Structure 1
Amino acid sequence: MKIVVETSVLIGTCVFWKRKDLLVKHHFFDKCNKLFEFLRDNPELGIVTKTIENEAKNVLDKAVNSTIRHTYFPDIGTKIRVMTLQHIISNHCLDKLENLVEECSTRLPINTKKRDKIKNEEIEPFLNEIVKTTVRYIQPKMPSFLRGKRLRGELTDIMVRSLPKKGIIYKGMPADRDLTIMSEATMIYRKYEGKEKVYVASTDNHFIPNRVQIGSFLSGHMKKLDELDSSVRDKLAKKFGFIGDDPLKILEHAEKEKVSIGKVKVKKERRKILVPKQIAKKARELEGTLEAVLLNKKMEQIERLPVSALTEKLQGIKDVNTVIFDGVITQRLVDLAAERNIKYLVAARVSEAIKQPLQVNLLTFTEIED
């Protein structure tokens, strides 16, 4: 299976900042973060496309601002103090976003011309027809002479129970960026020729089953039930292959699949490998720091930096022999190491889906000994 992480889940996970008694946390953080905890150990399953990453970066500051405004603080002075720190919080969340993309996902090549063709000629016309025929809500009608909120509410409940069909919440035609993400998910599904289940983890109603709603958006007696209607999601899945769902639901599917695979797959023990003592020492220092260290051929430290800045740094630096970092070795880093003639990549974990060049040694902290 493959899990395409949509913008809303990426934002829900990275908007988190805590300092002493101050906490800024996105209202979807808990369920989105659980999925990323799983993907951190299984990065070969996660996919974050460039479109999704850029969209998340574009809306991040707005999401941080909205989260601060909707967060309860004991007094107005504390809230004002946190609001003045918004730029610091946003930078912290941006670092976390880049770390999540680097550590918890792979990136597949996307042909933008094919993507746009799928969007304009397949997905958009298909959804246009669905939106026309989808009942967004049902408004129980009541005589105007019946007044009083309590009375009208009781009558609404009675009418709801007698309705043969209930409406679902669907926000109409998706925005252009949602259509683009759907097109990319379709391309990923077709790339695997239907041999892999492709899920889209999202909290956006355009991608996932919607809660059943009674009453119009303008009604004071609108009710949202606990029932979920998956009719729109199922039509998209049947036509284009990708399955949109809530992060926790996808996590449940992923854990079940991992258990079933684990029953028939024996994990190969990796032997301890002797390395220079400077590498082993730096590896111990870096555990739990989310930082990276660059060493030259003499095993001297060139630079220490955050893991989020590692990829960009390696693109513009020379004479690096060893890279040690508290993160996950991804295919992008391996390819970059091969280009830069880097001999060792040492990290906390190695992604399973790696094509290893002969000239680059990939090691984890648990494999090395001095």
Structure 2
Amino acid sequence: MAKAPTDTIKYNIRGEITIDGAVEKPDVVGAIFGQAEGLLGEELELRDLQKTGRIGRIEVDITTKAGKSTGTLVVPSSLDMVETAIIASAVETVDRVGPCNAKITIKDIEDARSAKRKLLINRAQELLKRLMSDEIPETAELTDEVRKSVQLSEITNYKGLPAGPSVKDADSIIIVEGRADVLNLLKGGIKNAVAVGGTNIPPQIVELAREKTAIAFIDGDRGGDMILKELCQVADIDFAARAPPGKEVEELGKKEVVMALRRKVPVDQVRAEKATTAAVQSPQAAGGGNSSALLDELKSIKGKLVARLFDKEMKQITEVEIKDLINSLAEVKPDCVVFDGIVTQRLVDSASRAHVKTLVGINKSAISITHNIQIVTEK
């Protein structure tokens, strides 16, 4: 029997077989051809259709148990949809296999092309996932490599110091601690940075600071404070910018770098705040009876979660709940605030706008800018 080429198969007729007796596969196939003969006319004669390859080899899978045979069959067809349905109905008319009663039930006519399409889609999805997981990271790595090589090619030496390519010609320079800081600024497109390489400030930096607007961009730690102090002593620094507390310049993302530089302050303001560091102190450092009186006032409201606002002569103006303190500052504009809470940077900023001179609280958080406000704390 001829077998229809798999690339011409359009449909697969799938059915189930139940036979009252023990039979073999050839018995089932013979019964189908024998009982369908002459049933559908010459054009749909099964034997002729199979000889011409329009019907494929009938596949039968059968098992026998306890005197009964059950199984499945598949009839491949390259006929059109209607003719295939007629063939399926003809197969279902088989009621005997040899001497045994039989029943064939057609369960499905499967569109072979649809099955191929599903396989095609699934395979395409697998290939696409593999492409995205394997190729795209390589592209990203390639991009990073190119970017890194460009950045490395852009970093130069200014009289022996790691620097961006624009240091020599720019009107202003950004002074950072090390080579990694210069590289990180180059990532963000900032090309006028130069590194000091430590706390020993080289004469090249002094020369640059004398000729150009100098911005010291320091780490948000004690090391950054030390470098800024040294810079201010030997060089003409105009502005100071600081990384967020606990972070180094080389760790910052582009947005953080830009924000830090936007928040730069004149170095004179930094010096003034350093001079008033004694104002950010414990009561022992505050000295004098004034701090003692303020702390006594603090003790009297401790645990009440309130704030008392005083004028210049330390006469109480009003008492408010802590949650209303910041809003009250703008309205009352007191000279001194004593409250049962923690002095934060937000409160210091609000107090500065209200021209408050003294803040007294239980404790304080990290304060980077005091705005020349005296801060007295119990702890």
What TM-score bracket applies, with the shorter chain setting the length? under 0.3
Higher share of residues assigned strand? 2
If the length of structure 1 is used for normalisation, what is the TM-score? 0.26
If the length of structure 2 is used for normalisation, what is the TM-score? 0.25
Q: Rg bigger for which structure?
A: 2
